Every structure is written in structure tokens, then in C-alpha cells.
């Protein structure tokens, strides 16, 4: 009789375990999702910095018309970022852009120009 009582006492333990596993997965997902958004935004900022640096270098070399840093600012804004710094050294352009996600700043920098 005692063995029957033990079996009956474990009735429903699978449901509790299932709920615990689902809760753990949901908690882990809710923690990792903002990190994934931050990583995606960082990659977006890096792409905007690359494009802005290339645009500034093209404007500096005369391949496209316009003032290099103004063109870089326009390209950065079109890519969802803000141009923070633009430095020109000959035909080489170095830019730094920033954007934000959930109130936190994300920045990236890039350099473009002709090969040495």
C-alpha cells in the first residue's frame, strides 16, 4: 500500500516541471532579447559609419560633389545615425557616428580613403 501512496503523491509533478521549464525559457528570452537588439543596433551604426566615411572620402577626392563632412552627415542620417565627428587627412576620412537604443548610446567609427 505504501508504494501506491508514493505513486499517487507524485501525480501532477510533470505539469509543475513543464511550467518551470517554460518559465525559465521565457526569462532567458526576456534577458537575451534586449542584447540582441543592442547588437543589431551596433551593427547598424557600424554600417552607417562605413557608408559615411566612404561618402566623405569620395567627396574629398572629387568623385562626388559636395563638402565631405556635410555629405558624411547626410549619409549617416539616411542610415539612422548621427555624425559626431569628421576628420580629414588628405584623401582619408575618419568619421564617428552614434545612435541610441532603449536610452543607451551606441557609437561606431570608420576610416576610408585610397590605399597607401
The pLDDT assigned to 8 comes to 60
State the pairing for strand pair 104-112/82-89: unpaired
The predicted-structure confidence for 14-69, as pLDDT tens digits, reads as follows: 888 889 999 999 999 888 888 888 888 999 999 999 999 999 999 999 888 999 99
107 versus 5: the higher-pLDDT residue is 107
The pLDDT assigned to 2 comes to 55
Is 108 a residue whose pLDDT tops 80?
Answer: yes
The pLDDT assigned to 4 comes to 55
Residues near 70 by Cβ (< 8 Å), separated by ≥ 6?
A: none
Share of the chain above pLDDT 90, in %: 60
C-alpha torsion sign, points 43, 93, 57, 81: positive
The pLDDT assigned to 46 comes to 95
| C-alpha–C-alpha distance, residues 55 and 16, integer Å | 58
Mean pLDDT over the full length of the chain: 88
| Overall average pLDDT of the 85-104 stretch | 92
The pLDDT assigned to 83 comes to 95
Amino acid at each position: 500500500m505504501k508504494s501506491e501512496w508514493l505513486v499517487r503523491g507524485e501525480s501532477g509533478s510533470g505539469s509543475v516541471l513543464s511550467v518551470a521549464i517554460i518559465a525559465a525559457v521565457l526569462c532567458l528570452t526576456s534577458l537575451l532579447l534586449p542584447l540582441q537588439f543592442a547588437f543589431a543596433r551596433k551593427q547598424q551604426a557600424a554600417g552607417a559609419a562605413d557608408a559615411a566615411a566612404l561618402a566623405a572620402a569620395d567627396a574629398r577626392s572629387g568623385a562626388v560633389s559636395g563638402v565631405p563632412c556635410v555629405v558624411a552627415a547626410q549619409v549617416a542620417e539616411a542610415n539612422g545615425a548621427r555624425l559626431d565627428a569628421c576628420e580629414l587627412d588628405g584623401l582619408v576620412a575618419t568619421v564617428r557616428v552614434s545612435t541610441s537604443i532603449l536610452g543607451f548610446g551606441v557609437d561606431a567609427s570608420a576610416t576610408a580613403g585610397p590605399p597607401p
